[in-house]
Amino acid sequence: EIVMTQSPATLSVSPGKRATLSCRASQSVSSNLAWYQQKPGQAPRLLIYGASTRATGIPARFSGSGSGTEFTLTINSLQSEDFAVYYCQQYNNWPPWTFGQGTKVEIK
Protein backbone atom coordinates (compact mmCIF):
# COMPACT_ATOMS: atom_id res chain seq x y z
CA GLU A 1 0.00 0.00 0.00
CA ILE A 2 1.26 3.45 -0.92
CA VAL A 3 1.27 5.83 2.03
CA MET A 4 0.56 9.48 1.30
CA THR A 5 1.93 12.03 3.76
CA GLN A 6 0.79 15.64 3.72
CA SER A 7 2.42 18.62 5.37
CA PRO A 8 1.80 20.72 7.24
CA ALA A 9 -1.26 19.47 9.09
CA THR A 10 -2.50 23.05 9.46
CA LEU A 11 -1.52 26.11 7.47
CA SER A 12 -2.46 29.60 8.65
CA VAL A 13 -2.58 32.08 5.80
CA SER A 14 -3.93 35.60 5.44
CA PRO A 15 -6.52 36.28 2.74
CA GLY A 16 -4.87 37.38 -0.47
CA LYS A 17 -1.65 35.54 0.30
CA ARG A 18 -0.27 32.31 -1.15
CA ALA A 19 -0.63 28.85 0.38
CA THR A 20 1.75 26.02 -0.45
CA LEU A 21 0.75 22.48 0.52
CA SER A 22 2.94 19.40 0.21
CA CYS A 23 2.19 15.74 -0.41
CA ARG A 24 4.72 12.94 -0.42
CA ALA A 25 4.20 9.36 -1.61
CA SER A 26 5.99 6.39 -0.06
CA GLN A 27 6.90 5.23 -3.57
CA SER A 28 6.61 6.73 -7.02
CA VAL A 29 3.09 7.38 -8.28
CA SER A 30 4.28 8.99 -11.50
CA SER A 31 1.88 11.88 -12.16
CA ASN A 32 -1.17 9.95 -10.98
CA LEU A 33 -1.89 12.34 -8.15
CA ALA A 34 -5.07 14.27 -7.40
CA TRP A 35 -5.94 17.06 -4.99
CA TYR A 36 -9.35 17.52 -3.40
CA GLN A 37 -10.90 20.35 -1.41
CA GLN A 38 -13.33 19.58 1.39
CA LYS A 39 -15.42 22.11 3.28
CA PRO A 40 -17.25 21.30 6.51
CA GLY A 41 -20.29 19.11 5.96
CA GLN A 42 -19.52 18.65 2.26
CA ALA A 43 -18.10 15.91 0.11
CA PRO A 44 -14.60 16.35 -1.29
CA ARG A 45 -14.36 18.18 -4.60
CA LEU A 46 -11.78 17.31 -7.22
CA LEU A 47 -9.40 20.22 -7.84
CA ILE A 48 -6.37 18.83 -9.64
CA TYR A 49 -5.60 15.56 -11.40
CA GLY A 50 -2.58 14.31 -13.26
CA ALA A 51 -0.60 16.28 -10.64
CA SER A 52 -1.11 19.56 -12.49
CA THR A 53 -4.35 19.62 -14.51
CA ARG A 54 -7.20 21.63 -13.07
CA ALA A 55 -10.58 19.93 -13.02
CA THR A 56 -13.53 21.54 -14.75
CA GLY A 57 -14.51 24.85 -13.23
CA ILE A 58 -11.53 25.16 -10.89
CA PRO A 59 -10.09 28.69 -10.77
CA ALA A 60 -6.63 29.36 -12.13
CA ARG A 61 -5.36 30.41 -8.69
CA PHE A 62 -5.13 26.68 -7.91
CA SER A 63 -2.07 24.98 -9.38
CA GLY A 64 -0.38 21.66 -8.87
CA SER A 65 3.12 20.45 -9.56
CA GLY A 66 5.43 17.51 -8.99
CA SER A 67 5.89 13.93 -10.07
CA GLY A 68 7.20 10.71 -8.63
CA THR A 69 7.00 11.10 -4.87
CA GLU A 70 6.88 14.86 -4.23
CA PHE A 71 3.90 17.04 -5.04
CA THR A 72 2.75 20.58 -4.29
CA LEU A 73 -0.58 22.35 -4.37
CA THR A 74 -0.31 26.13 -4.57
CA ILE A 75 -3.22 28.46 -3.98
CA ASN A 76 -2.48 32.01 -5.04
CA SER A 77 -4.30 35.01 -3.63
CA LEU A 78 -6.39 33.04 -1.13
CA GLN A 79 -10.07 33.86 -1.17
CA SER A 80 -12.45 33.37 1.74
CA GLU A 81 -13.98 30.32 0.05
CA ASP A 82 -10.57 28.61 -0.16
CA PHE A 83 -10.27 28.03 3.58
CA ALA A 84 -10.90 24.31 3.80
CA VAL A 85 -9.16 20.95 4.15
CA TYR A 86 -7.16 19.67 1.20
CA TYR A 87 -6.37 16.02 0.50
CA CYS A 88 -4.03 14.42 -1.97
CA GLN A 89 -4.76 10.99 -3.44
CA GLN A 90 -2.69 8.61 -5.52
CA TYR A 91 -4.30 6.58 -8.26
CA ASN A 92 -1.21 4.88 -9.62
CA ASN A 93 -1.14 1.69 -7.58
CA TRP A 94 -4.22 -0.10 -6.38
CA PRO A 95 -5.83 -1.61 -4.49
CA PRO A 96 -6.15 0.35 -2.42
CA TRP A 97 -6.46 3.90 -3.67
CA THR A 98 -4.95 5.98 -0.87
CA PHE A 99 -5.33 9.49 0.46
CA GLY A 100 -3.15 11.75 2.54
CA GLN A 101 -4.35 12.74 5.99
CA GLY A 102 -5.20 16.27 4.89
CA THR A 103 -3.97 19.83 5.33
CA LYS A 104 -6.29 22.37 6.89
CA VAL A 105 -5.90 25.87 5.47
CA GLU A 106 -7.15 28.33 8.04
CA ILE A 107 -7.43 32.09 8.24
CA LYS A 108 -4.46 33.77 9.88
Residues 8-67 that bind other proteins (CB under 8 A): 32, 34, 36, 42-46, 49-50, 55
Cα-based distances in Å from 47 to 15, 55, 60: 19, 5, 10
Q: Rounded to the nearest whole angstrom, what is the least distance from the CB of residue 2 to other proteins in the complex?
A: 12
Q: Rounded to the nearest whole angstrom, what is the least distance from the CB of residue 16 to other proteins in the complex?
A: 28
Q: Cβ of 68: how many Cβ atoms within 10 Å?
A: 14
Q: Which DSSP category does 68 fall into? A: T
Q: Rounded to the nearest whole angstrom, what is the least distance from the CB of residue 87 to other proteins in the complex?
A: 6
# of chain residues touching other proteins (CB under 8 A):
25
Q: Which DSSP category does 65 fall into? A: E
C-beta of 49 vs 62, nearer to other proteins: 49
Determine, following the binding rule CB under 8 A, whether residue 83 of this chain makes contact with other proteins.
Answer: no
Q: Residues 62, 84, 100, 105: which binds other proteins (CB under 8 A)?
A: 100
**Region from 14-22, 60-68, 71-79, 95-103 binding other proteins, contact rule CB under 8 A:** 95-103
74 close to 13: Cβ distance less than 8 angstroms: no
Report d(CA 10, CA 28) in Å as an integer: 25
